[in-house]
Amino acid sequence: NASNEHTLTEVSTACASAPAAPAIQTNDALTLCVGESVTFFSNDPLPTGYSYQWQQNGMDIMGANNAQFTASVAADYSLYMTDGQGCNSSSSTAFSVQSGNVPTYQTSQTANGLTVDFDAFVLGGVTDESIYWSFGNGDSSFMNNPTYTYSEPGTYFVCPTAYNDCGEFGICIPV
């Protein structure tokens, strides 16, 4: 109009009823070994006009808008539904993906006659490392720090092997 007065109309972007947070699942291990990935998916139906949005460490992943997402980096992954206009569901419970490595170890042994105390400290793996000891005479143990008594004196090649979901590492040492 001639007085340059304009009327503004407020546009509401309020969300009347956001959908519930989607549930996400995986059939894969949550520890990524070198070259591996983990696939997440949701079976929750999308409301009309909504799409999925995957997140890595709480940030939207560009182009990750399907019911399924494959991750190859250790991080926290979650999912929400959005209508693209500001109406979003809550985020799902995040899955935490850890990075894993083949374990290594340090060993020491102390002999007292025919009895040997073996000690191992497993390094560089993830939380589920185990160690297997082969005592060089057919006997073995799954204890981390076993004590073993040989029946005859001699040199035995003891072979500790550390292992986890990412692989195994072992060397033999003479005792």
With cut-offs at 50, 70 and 90, classify the pLDDT of residue 152: very high
Say how far apart CA 71 and CA 5 lie, in whole Å.
54
User: Residue 53 pLDDT more than 70?
Assistant: yes
Say how far apart CA 15 and CA 87 lie, in whole Å.
5
Q: What is the value of pTM for the model shown? A: 0.67
More confident position, 16 or 138: 138
Sequence-ordered list of residues with C-beta below 8 angstroms from that of 169, at least 6 positions apart, any chain: 102, 103, 104, 105, 161, 162, 163
User: Residue 14 pLDDT more than 70?
Assistant: no
* pLDDT score recorded for residue 10: 45
Say how far apart CA 75 and CA 41 lie, in whole Å.
16
Decide the pairing of beta strands 147-149 and 157-164. Answer: unpaired
User: Residue 56 pLDDT more than 70?
Assistant: yes
Lowest mean pLDDT among 24-38, 116-130, 146-160: 116-130
